[in-house]
Chains A and B, each alone.
Chain A
Amino acid sequence: MTKKEKILLKASAAFAVLFAAAPVANAMHIMEGYLPAGYCIAWGVVCLPFLVAGFLSLKKKIKENRRNMTLIAMAGAFIFVISSLKIPAPTGSCSHMTGTGLGAILFGPAAVSILGIIVLLFQAILLAHGGLTTLGANTFSMAVAGPLVSFGIYKLCGKLKVNRKVSVFLAACLGDLFTYCVTSIQLALANPSEAGGVGASAVKFLGVFAPTQLPLAVIEGILTVVIVIGLETYAGPELRRIGFLPERSAGASADIAEGHGTEKGGAGK
């Protein structure tokens, strides 16, 4: 880490503390003002290291090759699209997906925390959806915990030699579900029920979110597979550059591979 990066890290940490402490509202699905201040700050602080790591990792990716920006922008844009689609669920309510799976698979969980918080801020400020006070908690569930699970599952599937499309589906789908599990636990921690404490509350909140989210998680998995198919077909060089697709020939450097974007995944005719 360079000196400049260290300063940046410290500054971002300080900023994040300030940010978490200020009554800003935030993000995913815990509504503004519905989480006691102490929890808001605590979740914000928990997210900090991830955000700093994410910032540094994105910076590194861009430094490695400026053209990595393209895929980063697309992963961010995917979160924008997916988290703006409110989909009806069999329970008679609507919810939306997270879209963080793609970024987690491509760039790792840390990088997604930055992409996710951008979306959460957009929704908290312009849509009064989520909230600034709950930003920390929502960032943790949607932009840290979910992507971590997605990333872990994708890696695990890779080890087990599961078909790539199936791995992508599982990663995105389970990451989405886990986001909502974390949200339920966050709400339960702040609102333990008199009878059964945190556990009983968690079950109640899960009961609200899980049936709604299950079909949506499936849709999220499907859409993530679709975009990955699209990228594999047309963005081979980019995917190889970030190490998502293997180099075409053993020992070939990334730069060499860049020149051969045409074949592989060439099923798009």
Chain B
Amino acid sequence: MKKIHMSKNTKTVIILLVLAVVIAVIPLVLNRDAEFGGSDDAGSVMIEEIRGEYTPWFTPVLETALGGELPGEVESLIFCVQTGIGVGVIAFFMGRFVERRKWMKGTDQE
């Protein structure tokens, strides 16, 4: 097999990314029965515990417009859109930077 040369940074990045994934996945394996709901909800449960019954005094505009909660699948869609916008912008500029570095090799011009 051909030996692949990796720079120190590449190795660091790979190790870090693997570490991040492991930290994120461990809870799923360890805590099989948990629901993994949002911790915001846990916060509102705590408010009720401290205050007794609590009715939010304002409903999200979106829920008012829809007349109910955003369906779960649609919510993940919008979260994906959010991720997509971010990744798109980062990837676009990163791609340009990477190409530029290639072109700049040997010249001093940007």
- Residues of A that sit less than 8 Å from B by CB: 23-25, 29-34, 36-37, 70, 73-74, 76-95, 119, 122-133, 165, 183, 187, 191-194, 201, 204-205, 208-209, 212-213, 215, 218-219, 222-223, 225-227, 229-231, 233-235, 237-238, 258-262, 267-269
On whether the beta carbons of A32 and B101 are closer than 8 Å, the reply is: no
Closest to A129 in B: B40
On whether the beta carbons of B97 and A234 are closer than 8 Å, the reply is: yes
B57 — which chain A residues lie within 8 A by C-beta? 33, 36-37, 133
A234 CA / B87 CA spacing, docked (Å): 17
B42 — which chain A residues lie within 8 A by C-beta? 93, 208-209, 212
Interface mask (B40-81 → A, CB under 8 Å = 1, otherwise 0): 111110110111001011111111000001100001001110
Which of B39, B79, B104 meets A29, CB within 8 Å? B39
A131 CA / B31 CA spacing, docked (Å): 30
B75-110 residues at the A interface, CB under 8 angstroms: 75, 78-80, 82-83, 85-90, 93-94, 97-98, 100-101, 104-105, 108-110
Given A32-B58, A122-B82, the answer on whether A76 and B35 have CB atoms closer than 8 Å is: no
On whether the beta carbons of B58 and A81 are closer than 8 Å, the reply is: no
A267 — which chain B residues lie within 8 A by C-beta? 7-10
Across the A-B interface, give the 6 residue pairs with the lowest CB-CB distance, nearest first.
A92-B34, A33-B56, A80-B86, A81-B86, A77-B89, A128-B60
A81 — which chain B residues lie within 8 A by C-beta? 82-83, 86-87, 90
Q: Give the interface size class of chain B.
A: 35 or more
- Residues of B that sit less than 8 Å from A by CB: 7-10, 12-13, 16-17, 19-20, 23-24, 26-28, 30-31, 33-44, 46-47, 49-51, 54, 56-63, 69-70, 75, 78-80, 82-83, 85-90, 93-94, 97-98, 100-101, 104-105, 108-110
Which of A33, A92, A131, A193 meets B50, CB within 8 Å? A193
A16 CA / B13 CA spacing, docked (Å): 41
A119 — which chain B residues lie within 8 A by C-beta? 82
B108 — which chain A residues lie within 8 A by C-beta? 259-260, 262
A269 CA / B102 CA spacing, docked (Å): 10
A76 — which chain B residues lie within 8 A by C-beta? 89
A267 CA / B12 CA spacing, docked (Å): 11
Which of B13, B23, B60, B88 meets A218, CB within 8 Å? B23
